[in-house]
């Protein structure tokens, strides 16, 4: 029995890989780069969507998020909120409008207050000051590690109290629990009443990292700027969770009326906001993954070219195999098997590298990439298809070699 079956073709592929390691690695390199790039990019995209989803779902189904329509990420340097380009910020009047909408049980603005606070260790430049209301912690489901958040009476009375994020506490006072400590801001002295537990950060989103923030009563924040401090977000809660979408429409309508018919403000429920963020992430991920996927096409062309050279170099081998009984189909299958084996080998190495890169990203950044089995199977399937498709032309050329002419070749 002549050994020209599947097992023989696989063995031939392995033998080719071993005898011409440099050329074989060159064939696989494009596949390795393509598979690694596509899987890593898809993993980062899935990880970002999961993080955004987790943060928004943490707020609850009854949360309503009010934002300026023209809110874009600017430079990524400096304080997180400082990098937001607020072309049409929300105003003090918008905050009052949201507060008085029927169906809104609580609301809290996120107002950016310009200026630099000074603690025990000098000016605190890397953070930012936020004016908000007593409902803020409950609206975003965030607990305090120490002390208490300021109350409505503190806000109404203009009490100079503050609550710090974990990073802000450490940077300003070099300790985790600086309760009762004081700092100055706009010439006034604020007393630290509480410290938040660590906030979950959401990379590549427009949500600020509140660990760097100092929170003060919104009434004081507005007093520093004569009610002109820019508000980049308002959180609100619907009285009835099942009516959150209706309440959001009521809020949008009230804001339109307050602005003379067109407010240029986006009002979404948490679910709608999640869908909006996910669509942006999907678009970006798909675009970059598509560009990375082109390397798989280039790798396929490389496989075809190198295999064509291989056919020319292995003319005598082809002649001998035909002389001892191998059919055109068996010769063709042998070369297709070799190309497929090289593609799958490159895909396997690429998958391993993807997992290593994912681990590295998790260790050195706040991103948490997620490699799904679907992406692994799809990319592996594409690699297999590349091997078969681009290995077919050299295989056909090899199978049509005349055995007599092949045996005469040097």
Query: pLDDT per position in the chain (410 positions), as tens?
Result: 344 455 666 666 566 556 666 666 767 777 888 888 888 888 887 777 776 666 655 666 678 888 887 554 443 333 445 444 555 678 888 999 999 999 899 999 999 898 999 988 889 988 899 999 999 998 888 899 999 999 888 877 878 999 999 999 999 999 888 999 999 999 999 999 999 998 876 544 455 688 999 999 999 998 998 888 888 889 998 888 788 888 888 998 999 888 887 767 888 876 655 555 556 566 666 666 666 667 667 767 777 776 666 666 666 676 777 777 777 777 777 777 777 888 888 889 989 999 999 999 888 877 788 888 888 888 888 888 877 777 777 777 766 766 556 555 55
Looking at 263, 290, 322, the residue that finishes a domain is 263
13 and 141 fall within a common domain: no
Long-range residue pairs from 58-62, CB within 8 A, at least 24 positions apart, any chain: 58/140, 58/141, 58/200, 59/139, 59/140, 59/141, 59/235, 59/270, 60/141, 60/237, 60/241, 60/270, 61/241, 61/244, 61/269, 61/270, 61/271, 62/237, 62/238, 62/240, 62/241, 62/244
331 assigned to some structural domain? yes
269 Cβ neighbours under 8 A, 6+ residues apart = 61, 63, 64, 65, 244, 245, 248
Say whether both 311 and 386 belong to one domain. Answer: yes
**Which one, of 233, 240, 210, 200, lies nearest residue 61 by Cα?**
240
* Tally of domains in the chain: 2
* 176 within 8 A of 169, measured Cβ to Cβ: yes
65 in a structural domain: no
211 plus 319 within the same structural domain: no
Residues 43 and 190 in one domain: no
- Is the domain of 320 the same as that of 292? yes
295 and 222 both lie in a single domain: no
Same domain, 78 and 37: no
- Residue 325 domain-assigned (yes or no): yes
* Residues 212/219, Cβ–Cβ less than 8 Å: no
Domain final residue, candidates 237, 263, 289: 263
Range of the structural domain that residue 369 is part of: 6-52+279-408
With respect to residue 259, please indicate whether it lies within any of the assigned structural domains.
yes
288 and 250 fall within a common domain: no
189 forms beta bridges with 184
Domain boundary among 216, 232, 263: 263
């Amino acid at each position: 029995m002549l050994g020209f079956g599947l097992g023989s073709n696989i063995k031939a592929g392995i033998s080719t890989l071993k005898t011409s390691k440099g050329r074989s690695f060159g064939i696989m390199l494009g596949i390795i780069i393509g598979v690694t790039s596509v899987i890593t990019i898809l993993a980062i995209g899935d990880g970002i969507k999961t993080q955004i989803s987790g943060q928004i779902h943490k707020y609850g189904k009854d949360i309503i998020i009010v934002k300026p329509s023209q809110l874009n990420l600017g430079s990524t340097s400096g304080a997180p909120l400082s990098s937001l380009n607020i072309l049409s910020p929300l105003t003090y009047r918008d905050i009052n409008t949201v507060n008085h909408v029927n169906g809104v049980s609580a609301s809290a603005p996120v107002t950016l207050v310009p200026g630099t606070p000074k603690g025990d260790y000098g000016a605190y430049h890397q953070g930012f000051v936020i004016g908000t209301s007593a409902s803020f912690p409950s609206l975003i489901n965030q607990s305090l590690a120490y002390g208490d958040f300021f109350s409505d009476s503190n806000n109404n009375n203009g009490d100079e109290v503050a609550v710090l994020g974990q990073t802000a506490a450490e940077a300003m006072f070099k300790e985790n629990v600086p309760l009762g400590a004081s700092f100055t801001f706009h010439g006034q002295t604020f007393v630290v009443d509480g410290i938040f537990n660590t906030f979950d950060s959401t990379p590549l989103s427009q949500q600020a990292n509140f660990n760097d923030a100092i929170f003060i009563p919104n009434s004081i924040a507005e007093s520093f700027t004569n009610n002109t401090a820019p508000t980049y977000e308002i959180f609100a809660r619907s009285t009835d969770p099942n009516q959150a979408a209706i309440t959001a429409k009521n809020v949008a309508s009230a804001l339109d009326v307050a602005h003379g018919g067109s407010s240029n403000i986006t009002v979404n429920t948490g679910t709608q906001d999640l869908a909006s963020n996910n669509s942006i992430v999907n678009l970006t991920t798909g675009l970059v993954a598509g560009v990375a996927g082109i390397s798989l096409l280039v790798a396929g062309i490389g496989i075809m070219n190198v295999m064509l050279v291989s056919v020319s170099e292995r003319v005598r081998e082809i002649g001998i195999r035909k002389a001892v009984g191998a059919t055109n189909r068996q010769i063709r299958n042998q070369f297709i098997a070799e190309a497929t084996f090289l593609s799958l080998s490159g895909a396997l190495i690429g998958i391993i590298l993807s997992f290593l890169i994912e681990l590295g990203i998790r260790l050195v950044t706040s991103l948490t990439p997620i490699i799904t089995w679907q992406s692994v199977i799809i990319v592996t399937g594409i690699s297999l298809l590349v091997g078969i498709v681009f290995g077919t032309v050299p295989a056909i050329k090899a199978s049509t070699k005349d055995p007599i002419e092949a045996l005469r070749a040097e």
